Amino acid sequence: MKIVSTRASVFGLCLALGAFGAGCATDGPEASVSSEITLDPTASYAMVGAQSNRCVGPVGGSTASNVRLEIENCTGTANQRWRPESMGSGFFRWRNELSGLCMDVSGASLALGAAVIQFTCGTQTNQQWTVIDVTGGSERMTARHSGQVLDVTGQGTAAGTLLQQWSSNGGANQHFFVNEGVPAIVAN
């Protein structure tokens, strides 16, 4: 289970109320010392961009394989909820609560800017991520196969901005609040 803090509870309240104003999510410079966090494999988490206050989900709420991941307005729906599955040695695979597909670096690419998609879950290392705590309660997620981090393309903050892998540079577009939230809403 993730270490519960007042921030996580405030996030749940902010998500439920749709209020992402001051005090709901903050960012700051990356710490030089970081540590792994503990995640509850029975819980779902929303990944909220520290720079944008937007949630990670598949484009258009799709349940199809090979669909890009993006940041979008947080709605609390199952397409924006992810379950961590331990792959050992501090790595996690992230399974989307709605589609059942996993966060994946497309084609196991090692290239800067490679697309982050949802894809059929497996044991391949391009679906394995470390989750490291950085300043302000946010986390940095690093792909096992490439050593590159989850990154919001072009430091974008607009809904619809796609995710990619990129070299870690301490930017707020590479920091995500990985918070256990209120129970997901399944859209009809």
Q: Does residue 181 surpass a pLDDT of 90? A: no
Residues 152/165, Cβ–Cβ less than 8 Å: no
Q: Is 19 a member of any domain?
A: yes
Residue 182: what pLDDT? 58
* pLDDT: which is higher, 33 or 55: 55
Asked if the structure places residue 14 within a domain, the reply is yes
* Amino acid at site 170: G
**Which CATH number goes with the domain that contains 113?**
2.80.10.50
Angstrom distance (rounded) from CA 109 to CA 80: 24
Is 26 contained in some domain?
yes
Instruction: Enumerate the β-bridge partners of residue 67.
Output: 118
Q: Is 115 domain-assigned? A: yes
In a domain, 1, yes or no: no
The answer to whether residue 164 sits within a structural domain is yes
Of the candidates 163, 185, 158, 159, the residue with the CA atom closest to the CA atom of residue 176: 163
Question: pLDDT category, 136, cuts 50, 70, 90?
Answer: confident
Q: Which domain holds residue 71?
A: 6-180
Mean pLDDT of 30-40: 57
Distances from the Cα of 95 to the Cα of 18, 46, 78, 120, 155, angstroms: 24, 12, 11, 9, 25
pLDDT number for residue 149: 98
Q: CA 164, 131, 174 angle in degrees (round to 5)?
A: 40
Q: What is the mean pLDDT of residues 120-141?
A: 95
Q: What is the pLDDT confidence band of residue 10, given thresholds at 50, 70 and 90?
A: very low
Residue 127 lies in a domain: yes
Whether 6 has a pLDDT exceeding 90, the answer reads no
187 falls within a domain: no
Q: Could you tell me if 112 and 151 are in contact, meaning their C-beta atoms sit under 8 angstroms apart?
A: no
Among 188, 187, 172, 183, which residue's Cα sits nearest to residue 46?
Answer: 183
pLDDT over threshold 50, residue 162? yes
Rounded Cα distance between 86 and 68, Å, is 23
Q: Residue 148: which of 119, 177, 126, 118 has the closest Cα?
A: 126
The pLDDT of residue 186 is 57
Banded model confidence at residue 9, pLDDT cuts 50, 70, 90: very low
Total number of domains constituting the chain: 1
123/35 Cα distance (integer angstroms): 24
